[in-house]
Amino acid sequence: MVRRAHRPEQKQPQQGVLPFRQHGGRRPGAGRKPKGEKAGIGHRPRPALASRFPAHVTMKMLQRLPRLRSRAEYRVLLACFANGCDRYGFRLTHYAVLNDHLHLLVEAGNRGSLARGVKGLAIRIAKALNKLWQRRGTVFADRYHDRILKTPREVRNALRYVLGNGKKHAAEGREVAVPQAIDTFTSAPWFDGFRETIVVRGIAAMPRPVTAAHTWMLTIGWRRHGLLSVHDLPATA
């Protein structure tokens, strides 16, 4: 009698146990990469914006670009501000130009209007600066940062911060010079909320780079906490 060799039972393949890499779930290094050398503003949904609230917007430039606080660069920025300060419900009311970033106080009808206005202004500035610098490519480092200002005191603090930021940097020795009573790389020459009387020669011949505010916060509300002084400096964060 011939006995057949015993064969081990073959295991049936099971579905879903193969060690294939899955596409779902959190993975190290996943997600959209920042434009700059390190991560900047997160891509979480931004809070809703009501038309009665102004916003403080910060736009950072890429590293190793020419400084913005130079005569040619500032002339380009002034033209961009003048052409883009009041479009489609977006209003640029105050600004400050630092060497590598911009501070803006703006108004908008809603979140979408704010996003379109800032994006349009960023595109306008990037094209103009690239033409000046004879280069191509990205100019702004990452998404803009914005903070909604919901009280008159917040608005006053933001005004003091934007108009006095350059003077604060100069006082700290941070490669910024402000020899005048006001920082002329800001909208201070067009600001009517100083306690002191300011006269800027030649301003009448310049295109106005900002538009008048419409919100109660930026017209009347902040003044209830007192006008600003040209000697005011932003508080240390």
Write down the pLDDT at residue 237.
Answer: 47
Q: Which residues contact 191 (CB under 8 A, 6 or more apart)?
A: 94, 159, 163, 228
Give the pLDDT of residue 104.
Answer: 98
Within 13 A of 111's CA, how many CA atoms are on the CB side?
9
Which CATH number do you get for residue 60?
Answer: 3.30.70.1290
Identify the pLDDT of residue 173. 64
What is residue 201's predicted lDDT score, i.e. its pLDDT?
A: 85
Mean pLDDT by 10 residues, the chain (237 residues): 55 48 52 50 66 96 94 97 95 96 96 95 97 96 92 97 85 69 93 92 89 97 96 75
pTM (two decimals)? 0.79
96, part of any domain = yes
Domain assignment present for 25: no
Closest-CA residue to 144 (of 116, 168, 108, 110): 116
Domain count within the chain: 1
Q: For position 166, what pLDDT does the model report?
A: 86
Domain range enclosing 130: 55-225
